[in-house]
Structure 1
């Protein structure tokens, strides 16, 4: 999982050669930074990207660069699979239904709410 502060530090110190772009998975942009590093334009752009990364929220960074790994309450989709927290919640909900603590309608409604929060 990529880190916002690490990306900002890479952009500040090595942004003129595009290291932060490679770190963020933007390889084509990284190659362009390398090709044009002699013009100092990538360094200027990297300076402003550093500011942008520092001002960006962690949630916005995760959505943009960590491909859907969201830190909202520990829930999210990682690699197309349910996170462990969400799977555990669904398992506990199923146990309550099997024990007769909640009705089928309650079970289905809560299950849909959990799955829709992806």
Structure 2
């Protein structure tokens, strides 16, 4: 199980987890409930700043943005087939584990900048 942090998007901010088949995302503001999303529900995953920056500017609180400059973090956008999306931060090993799991699905668009590959 790998950890990441949801920082903006259709889900509340907070801790998330990834297994080879599922994303566990914060489900309510109190984080008592969570939502499990199958990896098969992911339509797009991208670490290109042009994809996630508009969501961060519109939704993330100003205090979280300076922390995103950490070179040890991978920031990525994940879009679900139902139209919801989230921007998350993880370490590079977790991001690559997510990519590897999603590469096995032929219908997921992987848009990865050269700095993360």
**What TM-score, normalized by structure 1, do the two folds share?**
0.23
More strand by share: 2
**TM-score normalised to structure 2 length:** 0.23
Larger radius of gyration: 1
User: Hey, which of these two has a bigger chunk of helix by percent?
Assistant: 1
